[in-house]
Structure 1
């Protein structure tokens, strides 16, 4: 007898006896466990790879340094600009000149007040003070520019350090130390396996039985044992007319990495007796 006929008979029998009927029954549907995210890791700049620090199968953390490009020139540029940005010598020299010019200006004003100085001397002292004050402002601007140049050079140096953008596992290492990395090349492919995604296609007849936020049981195929709870993240709002199905995606926590990705499974969807 077909499965749905058996279910209908059992339901009729229970209702006849007055036995409560609840959502204890469930349908199982094929699903696939996949990485939550897979990314190809490259670099915004090209160059020779100096160090490739991880290999296939290694776990990496977000922000971890996984490779470096050769960067001798960039490091020396940063060192040079750091010396310039940290130096106050030019500003201090202008401060000393400004103090001396202000003293000369005070003497010129005093002489004018006592009628023993000339207007020309006073104007010359005022002009000298004004010029030195402006030169001090220019010295301060040069120091700020040096600090900005240092920031830019440091950013360029940092671009030659390749970090992992996610927590995950190295799936493929495409290049090795000493090889040339072009702007369009990838050094690694990394997959995030915590959490995992569970993807399934369900018949449109159960569309109203599943919604985002619902927790469903997932049973991986052998040799992985156990039943895991996964939360529905996404329910497709567009049906596939040819197969009369719609897709769902669930979030499956995998903090210890015990559940392998790329594995088949069954997802159980509770069905109210019908």
Structure 2
């Protein structure tokens, strides 16, 4: 019986070992702008918490705002269409009268044909007016899109790591306004000896213990196991997703990690 137990005890599961790791933000975004311009308002500072889609800056947009107001007036106007509809009603009545007179041999066929031709011309002019109105509505949408591009929003919820520009400075198309890091969840990056490959798999629980002065033991899940080894160090990369509500755990800190159920894969 002892001879059977000793070989099993000699196999150390991955959960019995601690490995060095680093806690990183899950996303780091360098915020720019789709259009260049002069900054009117920068509404964030280093250390601020921001939400996804929150306005963080505005460019000067007086010209774009005026264009939107002009296009709004043009898109809302129906006077040309209403005028063409009134002309079309009149042309229809003239055509009906010409038909009635022709039926009594009071007028000629030419008069009826003129009335029909006039109605068809007005119908085309009405269609053109409706097309112009639709074009004005599309131009308004385009102008609104251009105006919206002058408002810079945060693409993620996170913390402002750096603010690079201030009110009155010029932001070009390749420039950087700020850097924002997403801290919930965090990514824990570890490099594990190749001897542990096959014992760790995606979905397995991991216990992360940050180095001092951060206290606590936190549970995450393995999200990525690299399939390419680093021959120089004899390790492979592994990523753990670690929930971090309220941003309790800071990023950019060293840690150690152990793995639960490591023995399951050895059976």
Q: 2:166 aligns with which of 172, 176, 198?
A: 176
1:124 CA drift (Å) = 1.4
Residue 37 (structure 2) pairs with residue 47 (structure 1) = yes
1:230 CA drift (Å) = 1.0
Instruction: Report the counterpart of residue 141 of structure 2 in structure 1.
Output: 151
Instruction: Report the counterpart of residue 25 of structure 2 in structure 1.
Output: 35
Q: 1:242 aligns with which of 232, 236, 251?
A: 232
Partner SS state of residue 49, structure 1: strand
Q: Which runs of 5+ in 2 are unaligned?
A: none
Instruction: Report the counterpart of residue 267 of structure 1 in structure 2.
Output: 257
Instruction: Report the counterpart of residue 208 of structure 2 in structure 1.
Output: 218
Correspondence list, 1:97-176, <5 A: 97-176=87-166
Correspondence list, 1:184-263, <5 A: 184-263=174-253
Alignment TM-score, normalising by the size of structure 1: 0.90
Spell out structure 1 runs of 4+ moving beyond 6 A. none
**Residues of 2 paired with 1:235 and 1:22: CA distance?**
20
**Residues of 2 paired with 1:85 and 1:24: CA distance?**
68
Equivalent residues, number: 261
1:136 CA drift (Å) = 0.5
1:269 CA drift (Å) = 3.3
Instruction: Check 1:24–1:45 CA distance in 2 against 1; reply closer, same or farther (3 A cut).
Output: closer
Instruction: Check 1:197–1:13 CA distance in 2 against 1; reply closer, same or farther (3 A cut).
Output: farther
Deviations, residues 237-265 of structure 1 (Å, cap 9, x unaligned): 00011111001000000011010000000
Instruction: Report the counterpart of residue 9 of structure 1 in structure 2.
Output: none
Instruction: Report the counterpart of residue 60 of structure 2 in structure 1.
Output: 70
Superposed CA RMSD in Å reads 2.2
**Residues of 1 paired with 2:61 and 2:196: CA distance?**
58
Partner SS state of residue 17, structure 2: strand
